[in-house]
């Protein structure tokens, strides 16, 4: 196993994306925008960004960053006039502007629109790039025939709510381009009390909280004060406007919630093409976005297939029915079963899903470790049954000295409770038989926010449990005097901290930290004998422990576990000497996995940088 992982880490070379052709120039993109997609298709589909995952057992979370960047590039080329060729026969945008103004003047004359304050001219300093022939720089408000603000009817008046008039707020935007329904509805009385109704076809623009969100009303809709209702000029293609708006860099201000004023919204500088070119741009954007959709679907299928193959091969190592490692009765069988996986090593542990596959490999290594399949047994080792006797004797001494309370003995483990057969010399035990569990102080002495000080004794919560250790970032502290009043929940180096609520299962081995106190969401696992902690960490991060966490979780909205239930967790306990060999092997294999993962990350960064280079060159 070690050799194959080592070879994989050494063999994998980052930076190759399957296409070494140069990035297209802006002229090429203008002549044939499909080249942006087809000439670098391997790069667009393989450039991914890995999102953080929450908790153990999380499904892969990968953003198809290359395809997302391609979509953004298509829209940026569209609003810069580089997506379709210009036609000298098109009516220029300067004439289109005259027709827009004439339309507004007619609406004012007909009494359908109040005369608007003229927008300031666009200065040369505000123009971010050079426009094609026939285009014009304008303010965003030029596109609008009218703009209104909404309001929120009183929440105290029940007669205003649950009516039949859709009432939109920020939470209704962003899910779909076209809005047919809303989460909240109001009555006709509510509408008269302060909200405003927009017509079908009007555009809803968020100016507070969800900046950048936009939608098109498909039915008459009332709006709240965080939205603007806009009637677009008939001389502007709706889809072209939506594409244009998506490229505006909107930055709000505000101490609590970011927002923009109506004048800021109206004043954004945008490019206006001739109407016929707007139509050609919209058609080309739709065509290229459809190709992006196909690419995205194919990439998703490939990622899903990679995930399924990885799960199948790694699960086979742990499945007795498959005749895999759990059935192996000799070193030769173990080697043969691992070889099946090694044949697919390059496929599984490279490419967009490589980092995820390595994490799954780590999970498998931990599970093999707690099943006694990672290192060979030594018949000369003192059996775990003798180790348990020594633990019991040490606990009895601590009870006699008044350092811990006597525990109620747990019943022996029945055969039907044992999830798998253990190697010779191992025994099934439970956490409370191996460790003493100590909750935090839950009396009136529990530190509240007012008790926290700038310097003193660390007061640790779940947020400090990171990568198997205790982070010193954003630590809270309590005074030494307050620490001395606590009746429990005090930890030392060598203790294990385990999260019982919220981030259920997070854990840390305290090293080179000193003393501290725990928040009520944690519990301390204190060992009666040194040398048990490292294997315990292997166990606590294994799938075996994860299954028991899910079994004992109380099933409320917030994951929750009691210290008493944690103490019942079954632990496959090896001889102490074998624990040390297991931990050493896990550390060795994890180090190799991390090397391979680092190379994959470097390759991923290179691919993302290449997409940036293509975008930059295409827009230059």
54 pLDDT band, cuts 50/70/90, is very low
If one counts every other C-beta atom within 10 angstroms of the C-beta of residue 518, the result is 27
The predicted pLDDT at position 255 comes to 75
Angle at the Cα of 609 from the Cα atoms of 607 and 610, rounded to 5 degrees: 65
State the residue for tokens 């998506």. Answer: 246
State the residue for tokens 């008939």. Answer: 234
Residue ranges in 343-383 assigned as alpha helix (H): 345-348, 354-370
Residue 18, CA distances (Å) to 33, 379, 416, 538 in order: 20, 52, 53, 39
- Cβ contact 325:332 at 8 Å: no
What Rg, from alpha-carbon coordinates, does the chain have? 32
For residue 241, what is the DSSP state?
A: H
- Residue 597: CA count within 13 A, CB half-sphere: 15
Report the percent of the chain where pLDDT is more than 70. Answer: 88
Distance CA 182, CA 163 (A): 12
Bigger pLDDT: 10 vs 48? 48
The predicted pLDDT at position 27 comes to 37
What is the b/e burial string over 525-552, where b = at least 16 CB atoms within 10 angstroms of the residue's CB? bbbbeeebbbbbbbbbbbebbbebbeeb
Using DSSP, state whether 68 is helix, strand or coil. Answer: helix
- Cβ contact 77:24 at 8 Å: no
Quote the mean pLDDT of the chain.
Answer: 87
For residue 501, what is the DSSP state?
A: B
For residue 560, what is the DSSP state?
A: B
- Residue 122: CA count within 13 A, CB half-sphere: 19
Residue 515, CA distances (Å) to 470, 489, 494, 527 in order: 12, 11, 10, 16
Does the 382-574 domain belong in CATH 3.30.930.10? no
Listed in sequence order, the residues at least 6 apart from 450 whose beta carbon sits closer than 8 Å to its beta carbon are none
11 pLDDT band, cuts 50/70/90, is low
Query: What mean pLDDT is predicted for residues 578-593?
Result: 94
Using DSSP, state whether 10 is helix, strand or coil. Answer: helix
Domain residue ranges in the chain: 1-90+278-375+577-620, 93-273, 382-574
- Cβ contact 553:343 at 8 Å: no
Q: Can you state the percent helix, strand and coil of the chain, rounding each to 5? A: 45, 15, 40
Provide the strand spans (E) within 195-317: 196-198, 203-206, 214-217, 221-223, 227-232, 269-272
Q: Of 588, 18, 616, give the one whose Cα is nearest residue 352.
A: 18
Q: Of 531, 561, 557, give the one whose Cα is nearest residue 545.
A: 561
Element (H, E) at 154: none
Is residue 172's pLDDT more than 70? yes
For residue 124, what is the DSSP state?
A: G
Strand order in 214-217's β-sheet? 144-149, 227-232, 203-206, 214-217, 178-179
Strand order in 161-168's β-sheet? 184-186, 161-168, 221-223, 196-198
Residues paired with 139 in a beta bridge: 269
39 pLDDT band, cuts 50/70/90, is confident
Distance CA 395, CA 404 (A): 8
**Token representation of residue 156:** 């105290």
Lowest mean pLDDT among 13-27, 237-251, 439-453: 13-27
Residue 531, CA distances (Å) to 387, 491, 498, 537 in order: 11, 17, 18, 11
The predicted pLDDT at position 381 comes to 96
Number of helices followed by number of strands (H, E) in the chain = 20, 26
144 pLDDT band, cuts 50/70/90, is very high
Is residue 119's pLDDT more than 80? yes
Lowest mean pLDDT among 46-55, 517-526, 539-548, 590-599: 46-55
The predicted pLDDT at position 175 comes to 87
Query: What mean pLDDT is predicted for residues 464-475?
Result: 92
What does DSSP say about strands 214-217 and 136-139: parallel, antiparallel, or unpaired? unpaired
Query: What mean pLDDT is predicted for residues 13-31?
Result: 42
CATH superfamily entry for domain 93-273: DNA methylase specificity domains (3.90.220.20)
- Cβ contact 532:500 at 8 Å: no
The reply to whether 382-574 shares the fold of 93-273 is: yes
Distance CA 218, CA 122 (A): 33
Q: What is the DSSP string of 513-537?
A: ---EEE-TTEEEEEESSTT-HHHHH
Angle at the Cα of 367 from the Cα atoms of 431 and 525, rounded to 5 degrees: 25
- Cβ contact 326:314 at 8 Å: no
- Cβ contact 391:433 at 8 Å: yes
Is residue 318's pLDDT more than 80? no
The predicted pLDDT at position 323 comes to 38
Distance CA 299, CA 365 (A): 29
**Token representation of residue 543:** 């799938």
Q: What is the DSSP string of 438-455?
A: EEPP-STTS--GGGEESS
Listed in sequence order, the residues at least 6 apart from 493 whose beta carbon sits closer than 8 Å to its beta carbon are 510, 511, 512, 513, 514
356 pLDDT band, cuts 50/70/90, is confident
The predicted pLDDT at position 434 comes to 94
The predicted pLDDT at position 57 comes to 40
At 410-461, the pLDDT tens digits run: 788 888 889 899 999 999 999 999 999 999 888 888 988 889 999 999 999 9
Query: What mean pLDDT is predicted for residues 146-171?
Result: 94
Q: Of 208, 138, 200, give the one whose Cα is nearest residue 173.
A: 208
At 248-302, the pLDDT tens digits run: 999 998 878 889 999 999 999 999 999 999 999 999 999 999 999 999 999 888 8
Phi, psi for 131 (deg, rounded to 5):
-95, 155
**Token representation of residue 390:** 């020594």
Provide the strand spans (E) within 16-129: 49-50, 62-63
The predicted pLDDT at position 15 comes to 39
Distance CA 615, CA 44 (A): 11
Query: What mean pLDDT is predicted for residues 82-101?
Result: 95
Is residue 344's pLDDT more than 50? yes
The predicted pLDDT at position 37 comes to 72
Query: What mean pLDDT is predicted for residues 55-62?
Result: 51
Element (H, E) at 498: strand 496-499
Report the percent of the chain where pLDDT is more than 90. Answer: 60
**Token representation of residue 579:** 């624990």
Listed in sequence order, the residues at least 6 apart from 160 whose beta carbon sits closer than 8 Å to its beta carbon are 153, 154, 186, 187, 189, 190, 193
- Cβ contact 381:334 at 8 Å: no
């Amino acid at each position: 196993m070690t050799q194959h992982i080592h070879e994989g880490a050494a063999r994998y070379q980052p930076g190759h994306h399957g296409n070494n052709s140069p990035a297209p120039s802006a002229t090429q993109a203008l002549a044939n925008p499909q080249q942006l997609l087809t000439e670098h298709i391997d790069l667009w589909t393989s450039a991914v960004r890995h999102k953080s995952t929450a908790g153990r057992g999380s499904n892969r979370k990968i953003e198809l960053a290359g395809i997302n960047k391609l979509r953004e590039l298509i829209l940026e080329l569209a609003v810069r006039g580089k997506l379709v060729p210009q036609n000298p026969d098109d009516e220029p945008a300067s004439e289109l502007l005259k027709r827009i103004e004439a339309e507004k003047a007619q609406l004012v004359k007909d009494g359908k629109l109040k005369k608007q304050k003229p927008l300031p001219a666009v200065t040369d300093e505000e123009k971010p790039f050079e426009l094609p022939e026939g285009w014009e720089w304008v303010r965003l408000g030029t596109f609008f025939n009218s703009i209104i603000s909404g309001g929120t009817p009183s929440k105290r008046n029940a007669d205003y709510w649950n009516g039949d008039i859709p009432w939109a707020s920020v939470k209704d935007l962003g899910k779909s381009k076209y809005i047919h329904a809303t989460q909240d509805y109001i009555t006709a009385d509510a509408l008269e009390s302060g909200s405003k109704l927009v017509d079908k076809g009007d555009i809803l623009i968020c100016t507070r909280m969800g900046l950048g969100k936009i939608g098109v009303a498909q039915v008459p809709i009332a709006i709240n004060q965080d939205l603007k209702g806009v009637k677009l000029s008939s001389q502007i293609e709706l889809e072209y406007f939506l594409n244009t708006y998506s490229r505006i860099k909107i930055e709000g201000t505000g101490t609590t919630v970011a927002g923009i004023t109506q004048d800021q919204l109206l004043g954004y500088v945008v490019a206006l093409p001739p109407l016929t070119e707007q139509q050609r741009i919209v058609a080309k954007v739709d065509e290229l976005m459809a190709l992006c959709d196909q690419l995205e679907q194919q990439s998703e299928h490939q990622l899903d297939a990679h995930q399924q193959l990885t799960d199948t091969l790694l699960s086979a190592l742990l499945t007795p029915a498959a005749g895999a490692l759990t059935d192996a009765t000799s070193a030769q069988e173990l080697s043969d079963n691992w070889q099946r996986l090694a044949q697919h090593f390059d496929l599984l542990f490279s490419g967009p899903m490589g980092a995820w596959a390595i994490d799954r490999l780590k999970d498998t290594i931990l599970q093999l470790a707690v099943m006694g399949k990672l290192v060979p047994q030594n018949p000369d080792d003192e059996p775990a049954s003798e180790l348990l006797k020594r633990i019991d004797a040490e606990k009895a001494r601590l009870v006699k000295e008044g350092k811990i309370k006597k525990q109620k003995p747990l019943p022996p483990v029945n055969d039907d409770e044992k999830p798998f057969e253990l190697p010779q010399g191992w025994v099934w035990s439970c956490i409370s038989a191996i460790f003493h569990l100590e909750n935090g102080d839950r009396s009136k002495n529990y530190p509240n926010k007012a008790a926290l000080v700038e310097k003193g004794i660390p007061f640790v919560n779940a947020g400090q449990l990171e990568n198997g250790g205790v982070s010193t970032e954003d630590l809270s502290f309590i005074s030494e005097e307050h620490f001395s009043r606590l009746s429990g929940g005090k930890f030392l180096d060598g203790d294990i901290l385990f999260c019982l609520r919220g981030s259920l299962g997070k854990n840390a081995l305290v090293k080179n930290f000193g003393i501290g106190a725990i928040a009520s969401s944690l519990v301390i696992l204190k060992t009666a004998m040194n040398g048990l902690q490292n294997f315990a960490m292997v166990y606590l991060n294994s799938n075996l422990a994860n299954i028991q966490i899910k079994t004992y979780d109380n099933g409320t909205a917030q994951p929750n576990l009691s210290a008493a239930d944690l103490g019942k967790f079954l632990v496959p306990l090896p001889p102490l000497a074998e624990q040390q060999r297991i931990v050493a092997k896990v550390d060795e294999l994890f180090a190799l996995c991390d090397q391979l993962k680092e190379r994959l990350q470097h390759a991923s960064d290179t691919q993302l940088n290449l997409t940036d280079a293509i975008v930059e060159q295409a827009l230059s």
